[in-house]
Structure 1
């Protein structure tokens, strides 16, 4: 069905969450990749070959006063998404996605907090601005410093993702099954998504989660789409012949590691150890939420998102206490699991 025009302005004015969904998908890919690398413990050549193509980001962490460390063995990872430049670099780009990933010391769950790219915050040394400008002005270090000042959460590592790895991985796996619950038309692309069950390739899946207008509930419907594709990708990766087909395994890992950059303090050995420690985590152990929002507005002629600082403080305290996933469940603030 085509949504009436009177719903379009409201939907168009809402924050653009489409890239948030892509980041969630990539996080799952990273976690699965780390677990697979750990399982290959005796195959040194394969590990060194794939680990060697992960780009190292020099000076990616801020210096000076920083929040205290979290509980021992816990990890807070800042994930950012940014398309590579023509020369293959990511320097100078604005981050399309920003997310804090909390991995508690007991390794029984993973919590994810998405921060909208248009969030209006204080950027150290620059004053009020959209949060994604920090990455453009000062690279990962300024982006981390901005988030640490905002949240008082100590960030342990940084990962920057290019989106081509996601699309290629879906294609390598032969597509992902997705159920479209109702027929809807995208007025921008003039594409109609008919209700039913589909096997989507990488390009189709990206188009599905990127739709910005024409959805009856706007961003809520888009977020549900993203979550459905996320969990489908996780299930597909873990249940198909990925682990038993050496060539497919290598190609999947190659697709991810060739599009991943991390801080220079995060070694390949550290990532493998983390992957092994997460080997028991499944998709239902992952909890996703978005930082509490106060509303939308205009600043300096641009549309921005205002954060709800009092409610946000409760969330960030849960991260500092190493219990984000539990907090999301207790407060019922998690994103919907599936679309059906």
Structure 2
């Protein structure tokens, strides 16, 4: 890990990088792209129907341009085969106010205990469980196989029910293995590390830590042993495996998953700045590698609008305009056993502010919701 000096993020880095819109570059007040490059980008990101409304392909006639307040659901998953049940390792909601000049990001704790609605496609009758199980309950397609795209639909409905958001305007499944490829294609990412972290999963050389034989069935909380990769407080230029490993960690952290949520939000902003830096954009060979990696990392649904349309719609949202939100919560302990997480009662007021597009007003009254370390 080579330590880096403080660098100001490029002022034109913006939210659309989350979707892989690395071609939307604002330079000298002008958007500089070519039709060939746009076509290459549009074909790089896979689009599918994530919300069960058959609009992902863009075949329906658009009713209107992208305007007004927008809510976007980003779900990060680890690579899995189609016979394994997918779990949402990270759930991030992005709220864009009606003026489309800001972005507010908040993470939903993966262990949050919620009511998951019924889902006809799999026969799931609904129930109370950790929210990261919703994708699994919605993913079964028969024959012992699972489809995370179908599972996203139930997860989205669960988050909508939790937050009061009527429906999401866009969504994306982010494959963490693919994001590692994007970081490697950019030759690493500069990222601020705000607390000392030891890796549960990897050794200092990036190789997996050995597992105890008795934990092969994943029943142990800490199934690994041996030397651990470490991440110290400071600003570093991380390789892909280091960045991804760092944002996956929660064991040993004072606030566990809440610390991890903050690190993942930091990662998104660092990715946005790095992906849209001149070092990437002005280097055709590197840009081509990043585009290919983006295609491996993202499945996108713009509800009838393509990813390029969204890139243009969000062109005024810059990295400095992205505010990271922390939802206050607590652990649920029943008879001495951990059951999951619960949000503070004030979260209901925050969710109302999101659905009514008055988040800045809420944050003015509740500054403790702002993550100042992102």
Task: Name the TM-score class by shorter chain.
Answer: 0.7 to 0.9
Q: Which runs of 5+ in 2 are unaligned?
A: 1-13, 55-65, 119-125, 139-150, 201-224
Verify: 1:99 aligned to 2:92, yes or no. Answer: yes
Q: Cα offset for 1:277?
A: 2.7
What corresponds to 1:321 in structure 2?
356
What corresponds to 2:313 in structure 1?
277
Q: Is the 8 A contact 1:291 1:312 kept in 2?
A: yes
What corresponds to 2:70 in structure 1?
75
What corresponds to 2:146 in structure 1?
none
Q: Structure 1 CA distance, aligned partners of 2:163 and 2:45?
A: 28
Cα distance 1:127–1:47, how it changes in 2: closer, same or farther (>3 A)? same
Q: 1:140 aligns with which of 139, 147, 152?
A: 152
What corresponds to 1:199 in structure 2?
237
Q: Structure 1 CA distance, aligned partners of 2:261 and 2:50?
A: 34
Q: Cα offset for 1:184?
A: 6.1
Cα distance 1:92–1:236, how it changes in 2: closer, same or farther (>3 A)? same
Q: Show CA shifts across 1:33-90 (max 9, x none).
A: 37359946542x4333432343333362479xxxxxxx96221111111234336x9x
Verify: 1:151 aligned to 2:163, yes or no. Answer: yes
Q: Structure 1 CA distance, aligned partners of 2:164 and 2:192?
A: 40
Q: Cα offset for 1:153?
A: 0.8
Q: 2:109 aligns with which of 116, 140, 143?
A: 116
Q: Is the 8 A contact 1:118 1:304 kept in 2?
A: yes
What corresponds to 1:312 in structure 2?
347
Cα distance 1:208–1:108, how it changes in 2: closer, same or farther (>3 A)? same
Q: Is the 8 A contact 2:191 2:236 kept in 1?
A: yes
Q: Structure 1 CA distance, aligned partners of 2:109 and 2:72?
A: 17
Q: Cα offset for 1:179?
A: 5.1
Q: Is the 8 A contact 1:61 1:144 kept in 2?
A: no
Q: 1:163 aligns with which of 176, 193, 199?
A: 176
Give TM-score scaled by structure 2 length. 0.68
Verify: 1:256 aligned to 2:245, yes or no. Answer: no
Verify: 1:334 aligned to 2:370, yes or no. Answer: yes
Cα distance 1:151–1:106, how it changes in 2: closer, same or farther (>3 A)? same
What corresponds to 1:174 in structure 2?
187
Cα distance 1:143–1:336, how it changes in 2: closer, same or farther (>3 A)? same
Q: Cα offset for 1:129?
A: 1.1
Q: Cα offset for 1:280?
A: 2.6
Q: Structure 1 CA distance, aligned partners of 2:302 and 2:317?
A: 26
Q: Is the 8 A contact 1:81 1:162 kept in 2?
A: yes
Q: Structure 1 CA distance, aligned partners of 2:21 and 2:175?
A: 17
Q: Which runs of 5+ in 1 are unaligned?
A: 1-24, 64-70
Q: For the aligned residues, what is the CA RMSD?
A: 3.6
What corresponds to 1:29 in structure 2?
18
Q: Is the 8 A contact 1:81 1:97 kept in 2?
A: yes
How many matched pairs? 300
Q: Structure 1 CA distance, aligned partners of 2:197 and 2:87?
A: 31
Q: Cα offset for 1:128?
A: 0.9
Q: Structure 2 CA distance, aligned partners of 1:93 and 1:335?
A: 29
Q: Cα offset for 1:288?
A: 1.4
Q: Structure 1 CA distance, aligned partners of 2:133 and 2:98?
A: 32
Give TM-score scaled by structure 1 length. 0.74
Q: Is the 8 A contact 1:51 1:257 kept in 2?
A: no
